Amino acid sequence: MTELLLIDDDQELCELLGSWLAQEGFVTHACHDGQSARQALAELQPAAVVLDVMLPDGSGLELLKQLRSDHPGLPVLMLSGRGEPLDRILGLELGADDYLAKPCDPRELTARLRAVLRRSQPPATPSQLELDDLCYSPARGVASIDGHEVSLTLSEGRILEALLAQPGEPLDKQALAQHALGRKLTLYDRSLDMHVSNLRRKLGPHADGRPRIVALRSRGYLYAP
């Protein structure tokens, strides 16, 4: 059984989602504030976290920052009842792997969870990918540039894997989203762009100042050797 940690102050929603997810083969542990969530994370090893933006004792975004520091490879799906584009952007910038607005269809939530969990499985790739001064370990989720290590989120790592597989060649956004996010992009969906932006910031440019990841209008992205 796959264990999930659901962090949301809406207890009725947690019960409904817990019942639905149980039918889908998940075991759900619910927390209704940040303090109990931190304690649960110290005691449990969930396969993924579903995290609400609004918590009674603080912001879910602040908890997400801590999650990314303490558990960089743990898949996190954010929920928000406010539906504000800024929430979505901030959540993705801080490292959320996916984002849904509330109220959400439990079937879509399940599909999104299965997608992030599939991507979190040990990849069928070499133990280490190398190109120029960059080394990436898919198993560890860590990139190394001239000995300096950078932890990547699940989505960032999958994007880097795909780009390193064909350096210098553009990869279509939809193909990249399917590989990295486990789904196709919808209209006005900028989640892939946000993940790529985070990845570019973490990796930085080449030593000569050239960008490592290049955006090509209407063609997608490429890793520039």
pLDDT in tens, 180-202: 888 888 888 888 999 999 999 99
pLDDT for position 82 = 62
CATH architecture for residues 129-223: Orthogonal Bundle (1.10)
pLDDT in tens, 118-164: 877 755 556 788 889 999 988 888 999 988 999 998 889 999 999 99
Average pLDDT over residues 167-172: 90
Domain 2-119 identical in fold to domain 129-223: no
Which DSSP string corresponds to 56-114? TTEEHHHHHHHHHHH-TTS-EEEEESS--HHHHHHHHHTT-SEEEESS--HHHHHHHHH
Tokens 């990841």, residue?
213
pTM value > 0.75: no
| 2-119 homologous superfamily | Response regulator (3.40.50.2300)
Mapping DSSP to helix (H, G, I), strand (E, B) and coil, where does residue 28 land? strand
Which DSSP string corresponds to 134-166? EEEETTTTEEEETTEEEE--HHHHHHHHHHHTS
75 phi and psi angles, rounded to 5 deg: -65, 135
* β-strand pairing of 48-52 with 76-80: parallel
Residue 98 buriedness (CB in 10 A; 0-12 / 13-18 / 19+): buried
pLDDT in tens, 5-41: 999 999 999 999 999 999 999 999 999 999 999 999 9
* Residue ranges of domains in the chain: 2-119, 129-223
Between these two residues, 3 and 84, which has the higher pLDDT value? 3
pLDDT for position 129 = 87
